[in-house]
Amino acid sequence: MRIFIDADACPVTRIAERIAQKDHIPVTLLCDSNHALSSEYSTIKIIDAGADAVDIALINLCQRGDIVVTQDYGVAALALGKGARAIHQSGRWYTDENMDRLLMERHLAKKARRSAKHHLKGPAKRTEEDDRRFAESFERMIQEAIGTTTEGHGTNMTRSTDPIWGE
């Protein structure tokens, strides 16, 4: 198992590294050439700037059983399709069960942004509670992944214990 972080403007990179380091799980941070990252633990891959270049590189690297940290629903959907697990910076897990709804919401939000009639607010400022929630959820995902065999799809999870998006 490896952890890949879509690290362009990711607010939980250091939290994820700290948790992964406890279990000696390798972490790769991917960012475009417009960002400067440093890490004492992770491998850093700088990808040429370009539309979706980091996303494509991340998906090409990840495999079944890996964990992807991203706020991009499209990247998460592709990771799930490869048998990886995916988690949002909020701590919510992307799953086969919630991905269709998330992609539809993304599509509708994009349409609304293109309309001159609507103005959508950006995300709320990140809090310490947000960081705590991500850390707890990420640790739970890692522990579940460690305990899961490589049989079947890497994202089969029960609804009763999952931090499912918005449910």
pTM of the model: 0.81
Structure tokens at 144: 């579940």
Task: Name the CATH topology of 3-147.
Answer: Rossmann fold (3.40.50)
Q: Is the confidence at residue 147, as pLDDT, over 90?
A: no
DSSP 65-83: T-EEE-S-HHHHHHHHHTT
Per-residue pLDDT tens digits for 27-46: 999 999 988 899 999 999 99
Residue 3 burial (C-beta neighbours within 10 Å; 0-12, 13-18, 19+): buried
pLDDT in tens, 77-112: 999 999 999 999 999 999 988 777 776 776 677 777
Every domain of the chain and the residues it spans: 3-147
Mean pLDDT, rounded, for 1-5: 97
Is residue 1 within 8 Å of residue 148, measured between CB atoms? no
Largest CA distance in the chain: 50
Give pLDDT, residue 158: 36
